[in-house]
Amino acid sequence: MFTGIITDIGQVLAVEQQGDLRARIATGYDVAGIDIGASIACDGICLTVVALGRDPQNWFDVQISAETVGATNIGRVGWPVGKRLNLERALRVGDELGGHIVSGHVDGVADITAMQDEGDSTRVTLRAPETLARFIAPKGSVALNGTSLTVNGVDGASFGINFIPHTKAATTWGAARVGDAVNLEIDTMARYVARLQDWA
């Protein structure tokens, strides 16, 4: 489990198809404190660490199944060498829950359709897949590329998010552009509420 509070920005160092896709990611985390088998959310995708190293910088390797590739923006745009990724280590007992409960299981891919600066902040409009739109509500939570965010408003399958300067600086969102494909995870609570309504 994760909180959607990004704690590092990693960078893709290498990608290789080895049956599954294998990626090496540079990180500011101290790899001495990461175990093989640990979970790290990479742009909102919960991935398992399969190797670690420090030459010449801290890095970890992950394996990405074909199912995950197909369900995320990796299948749309890939992970080119040099791509920057929002990183978050798994939640530990006693950690502060500063965002919302995030599983790291991406539900689909949303597309940025508009961006507008408002003071120092940026208002971003995204379009969700039609099958997921009903789970997104004004003032509810979503995870976008692993970042816990509050929905400002909803219009059909489109919804709006506001990025303050801190979020843009502490994540990859400062480099976002119209047309970007974004990993979307809906709020777990919204999923269960909708499921209960289906049974009502």
pLDDT digits (tens, 9 = 90+) for 41-81: 999 999 999 999 998 899 999 999 999 999 999 999 999 99
Does the pLDDT of residue 200 top 60, yes or no?
Answer: no
Q: What is the rounded distance in angstroms from the CA atom of residue 173 to the CA atom of residue 165? A: 10
Say which range, 110-119, 159-168, 173-182, 186-195, has the weakest mean pLDDT: 186-195
**Fold classification of 8-89 (topology level):** Elongation Factor Tu (Ef-tu); domain 3 (2.40.30)
Asked whether the beta carbons of 9 and 85 are under 8 A apart, the reply is yes
Strand-pair partners of 58: none
Does the pLDDT of residue 143 top 60, yes or no?
Answer: yes
Q: What is the rounded distance in angstroms from the CA atom of residue 62 to the CA atom of residue 65? A: 10
Q: What is the CATH number of domain 108-199?
A: 2.40.30.20
- CATH 2.40.30.20 positions along the chain are 8-89, 108-199
Q: What is the rounded distance in angstroms from the CA atom of residue 142 to the CA atom of residue 188? A: 9
Confidence of residue 1 (pLDDT cuts 50, 70, 90): confident
Does the pLDDT of residue 179 top 60, yes or no?
Answer: yes
Confidence of residue 94 (pLDDT cuts 50, 70, 90): low
- Quote the pLDDT of residue 82: 97
Instruction: Identify the CA nearest to 108 among candidates 144, 160, 149.
Output: 144
- Quote the pLDDT of residue 159: 98
Q: What is the rounded distance in angstroms from the CA atom of residue 163 to the CA atom of residue 182? A: 15
**H helices present in the chain, as ranges:** 66-71, 74-77, 130-133, 165-170, 188-199
